[in-house]
Amino acid sequence: MNDDEQVGTTTYKPDWQRKPTADQMARYYPERAQKAEIGGAATIRCMVGSGGRLNSCVAVKETPEGYDFGKAAVRLSAEFEMTPPPPDLVDKKEVTIPITFAVPPSRPFLPPIDMAQFGAGLLVLVIVVGGLLGLIRVVQADRRVDI
């Protein structure tokens, strides 16, 4: 199949709607390769599904071998989106995608923030600080009391 696919009367040329950001590339970077500060590449082959999402991706090449760049590229495919194919070509149009991984800059690992937990923690902090401020006002207003 070539890039311009004609099936019956339908022509489809896949194009990018969304590609991974640098942060997403770093998130999927193989751990062993990052520790060794080794860059690499992989080529994946996928089917373009409805909505332009990639399905059934498999790694067909990776360099250097043994650092899981192929597996990382397959996981990274969730971040890609292409122009949606016409209904008669959904999951029938195959694309080949080369991906190059550059060693991400070293930085401390920061776990993702759970916004619900963050909000609850912030609420507790506001209540505690509010209570302390109220206590300070009471003590300042009634300094004549012996304790």
| Nearest in space to 60 (alpha carbons), one of 80, 79, 48, 45 | 45
pLDDT at 2 over 80: no
Q: What is the pLDDT of residue 95?
A: 92
Peptide bond into 64 cis (omega under 30): yes
Cβ count within 10 A of residue 119:
10
pLDDT at 75 over 80: yes
Look up the domain containing 127 and give its range.
113-147
143: Cα within 13 Å, side-chain hemisphere = 3
The total of structural domains in the chain comes to 2
Q: Are residues 32 and 58 in the same domain?
A: yes
As a whole-number percent, the residues of the chain with pLDDT over 90 amount to 44
CATH number of the domain that 57 lies in?
3.30.2420.10
Cα–Cα dist 29/23, whole Å? 10
Q: Are residues 65 and 93 in the same domain?
A: yes
As a whole-number percent, the residues of the chain with pLDDT over 70 amount to 82
Q: Are residues 75 and 121 in the same domain?
A: no
Q: Are residues 39 and 17 in the same domain?
A: yes
Q: Are residues 91 and 139 in the same domain?
A: no
How far does Cα 3 stand from its chain's mean position? Answer: 27
In this structure, what token pair is assigned to residue 43? 């080529």
Who wins on pLDDT, 10 or 17?
17
pLDDT at 43 over 60: yes
Cα–Cα dist 32/76, whole Å? 17
pTM, two decimals, is 0.63
5: Cα within 13 Å, side-chain hemisphere = 18
pLDDT at 7 over 60: no
Q: Are residues 124 and 56 in the same domain?
A: no
